[in-house]
Amino acid sequence: MNRIKSVILLTLLSIVLMAVGGTVGGRQGAFMMLIFSFAMNFYTYWNCDKMALRAYNARELSENEVPELFELVRELTDRAHMPMPKLYVLPTDVPNAFATGRNENHAAVAVTEGILSMLDRDELAGVISHELSHIRHRDTLIMTLAASIATAISYIANIAQWAAIFGGGRDENGNSSNPIALLVTVFVSPIAATLIQLALSRSREFMADASGAAISGKPLALASALMKLDAYSRHRVMANAKPATSGLFIINPLTGAGGMANLFSTHPSTEERVEKLREIAAEMHSY
């Protein structure tokens, strides 16, 4: 069911992209955006790990640098019957983490310098298990695809905005497009793309919490980690965090920005997540 829902929502994102292209360039523009969407999805499928890691200046870690982290991840992947992912570090003291890659055999887990110094071993195990769950369910690929399409929609909408200001776009016959329709597209399409991203991301965070708790066996440790990360994120925004890729992280890195960043958050509230983890702990008799 989740896989079907994801396909439907990604298709909707592609339709929004085509609609923006159609408004700017008529049927030819819509067709060009359809081709562009296929090409982008193909490229993202093969390069989603590199794209996400490059965006945050991640550096691959060696086992000699952090043997304790490698030992922990190896223990968790053995428990989950998964291959060992590559491990990366993000050069920031803001505590957070994300996973990326198209499948279990081509995956990476990235942690910030801050999270390694803030969390204890059980809490870090909860976070890593959450990210391993994302890898297992291919959430990493799906969310990177969604982020790529949403970014393209915002970019094309920005072009449409300038087209409207300077006389409107052109249809396939060279006639001026309706500037009002153009402006509506400019403002509505990025919001629609964001709402679709939200529908994709929020349910998957709950699922990753539950699955991650099962891998680590310590849901309350994950709950504790989420509370610590959330409290920090409310006072400090990650310097190079981007709205389109914020859904990759275990905690929204833009929480501290307030305003629209929270209104259109890609994550459910930490309070909700912690409550569900406490329910899981009660069921597991893990106190």
Q: What is the CA radius of gyration of the chain?
A: 20
**Three-state DSSP class for residue 106:** strand
**Three-state DSSP class for residue 101:** strand
Residue 222 to residue 193: CA distance in whole angstroms: 30
Residue 249 to residue 111: CA distance in whole angstroms: 10
Instruction: Decide if 131 is catalytic.
Output: yes
Residue among 228, 270, 279 at smallest CA distance from 118: 228
Q: Which of 60, 75, 131, 271 is catalytic?
A: 131
User: Starting at the edge strand that comes first in sequence, how are the strands of the sheet with 97-103 ordered?
Assistant: 59-60, 86-90, 106-112, 97-103
Residue 102 to residue 95: CA distance in whole angstroms: 24
Residue 246 to residue 31: CA distance in whole angstroms: 29
183, 88 Cβ separation under 8 angstroms:
no
25, 170 Cβ separation under 8 angstroms:
yes
CA angle 110, 112, 118 (to 5 degrees): 125
Active site residues: 131
